[in-house]
Structures are given as C-alpha cells and as structure tokens.
Amino acid sequence: MKLTEKVAVITGGANGIGLAASELFAKEGAKVAMVDFDEVSGVEKASELRSQGLTVEFFQVDVSSEESVHAVMERIAAKWDGIDILINNAGITRDAMLHKLSSSDFKRVLDVNVNGVFYCTQAVVPYLVEKGKGKIINTSSVSGTYGNVGQTNYAAAKAAVIGMTKTWAKELGRKGINVNAVAPGFTETSMVASVPEKVIEQMIAMVPMQRLGKPKDIANAYLFLASDDSDYVNGTVLHVDGGIMM
C-alpha cells in the first residue's frame, strides 16, 4: 500500500473525481477526510466506504469560507494527529459566453476555484511543516492551460491554480513539501453533464485516446503525486487528458 497511515484531506471528495480519489486513497491505507459542501452525498458515500472497512470521514464545508476552512482543518488534524496530504479538488463551473457572463458568476467561480484553494492550503501548510514532509496537489484543467469557449471565469481560475502551484512549490520545497497540479481533460462526472452533446463529440474527436477521462484516471494521478514515488517531483503540471492538446 502506498499511503499507509497517511492523513489525506480531499476537497470535493463527495462526488466525481474526488470520490474516486477518496476510495483509492483509503484502499491504499490512508485516513481520508472527505471535505465537501454536499452533505447528502458526503454522509452517504463516507458511510459506504466505511462499510468496506476503509477509514473515511465526511466533513461539511464550503471551501470559499475562510473561517470554516480553518476550523475544519483544525478538527481533522486534532482527530488524526496531523495532516500529510491535501488534494485541492473542489471546483465549480458557471459557463457562459463572454458577452453573457454575469459578474456574480465570474466572482463565484473565482471564490471557489481560486480563493478556496488558497484558504485550504494556508490552513493545512502548518501541519505539513510540523511533519517536515507533505504533499499538496491542486486541480487545474485543460481549460486553464489552453482556454475554452464559454469558460472565461473557469479558465482564469484554473490558470491561477497553476500560478499558485508553481509559487508554493518554490516557497515550500525547502520544508519537504511537494506542490504539484493535475490538469484533467474532459472527464465523466456531473460537471460535464451540462455540456451540449455536440461539444462533447467535438472534444472526444480531438482526443488521441478517443474517449473522455474516467474519475479513476485522474485519481491515479493524484495517488502518484501524493505517494513517496513522487518525492522529487515538484512544481509540475501533470496533464491527464488522453493527449487532447500537446
């Protein structure tokens, strides 16, 4: 097992990619704090995973609320005597063409996808420093690296995630903390459910692997970056997108 006794915080862990990661990490021996806004799914999925003998607890929080984030990280660290891994996976979209994009939808996407990553990381870093070792994995996107029609807000946020990743890799490397990003391509979760069928078809046609990603494809990349196998990987953006853009 690759994560025996590690304490892993996975934001957005109650659905989609985060849920696949919660299951995979717990099967690899981690104690998983599934941190999510969605209480209904969080309570249900954490209990399902516990019934398989895995160590998974759900913590309800909105990552865009700084105070709540700090409080929840404190509870997790107190429960399991510290934190080793943070996966900043929670994210939302509010897609619209530029001329139709409201400033409130622009701000909300930045609040969750950028401020949320900042709050969670700032709250967790002291626990990683205490251990002298730690892993932070941020979730960017193919939209953040190449842009995407209808995603001014989301592309801005996911590009910002890359900027923060590289900055923190430089700041925290000397403290034994690796900071990396994963940039998934279009992946089969509820996030792509609202995308028009013809856009999905266009996207699949551009992928050399000729399919969408599956949540487990992305979770596997998180696992590599969270495990000791990647101890000398720092400040990288790992594209897990079937080669859609090269």
Per annotation, catalytic residue among 119, 127, 146, 154:
154
| Contact of 92 with 143, CB cutoff 8 Å | no
Segment near ligand NAI (CB under 6 A), from 14-22, 50-58, 94-102, 128-136?
Answer: 14-22
Sequence-distant contacts of 70-73: CB under 8 A, at least 24 apart? 70/119, 70/123, 72/35, 73/9, 73/120, 73/123, 73/124, 73/127
How many residues touch ligand CAA under the rule CB under 6 A: the total is: 19
Which residues face 237 on adjacent strands?
181
Q: How would DSSP label each residue in 171-231?
A: HHGGGTEEEEEEEE-SBSSHHHHTS-HHHHHHHHHH-TT-S-B-HHHHHHHHHHHHSGGGT
Q: How would DSSP label each residue in 60-115?
A: E--TT-HHHHHHHHHHHHHHHTS--EEEE-------B-GGG--HHHHHHHHIIIII
Q: Does 142 bind ligand CAA (CB under 6 A)?
A: yes
Contacting ligand CAA within 76-115 (CB under 6 A): 93, 95-97, 100
Q: Between residues 141 and 234, which has the closer beta carbon with respect to ligand CAA? A: 141
Choosing among ligand NAI, ligand CAA, none, which partner's interface includes residue 190 (Cβ < 5 to 8 Å by kind)?
ligand NAI
Choosing among ligand CAA, ligand NAI, none, which partner's interface includes residue 100 (Cβ < 5 to 8 Å by kind)?
ligand CAA
When binding is defined by CB under 6 A, the residue of 6, 8, 9, 16 that contacts ligand NAI is 16
When binding is defined by CB under 6 A, the residue of 3, 6, 7, 15 that contacts ligand NAI is 15
Choosing among ligand CAA, ligand NAI, none, which partner's interface includes residue 195 (Cβ < 5 to 8 Å by kind)?
ligand CAA
Other C-beta atoms lying within 10 Å of the C-beta of residue 235:
17
**Catalytic residue flag (residue 154):** yes
Give catalytic residue positions.
154
Which residues would be at the binding site for ligand NAI (CB under 6 A)? 11-12, 14-18, 36-38, 61-64, 89-92, 112, 116, 139, 141, 184, 186-187, 189-192
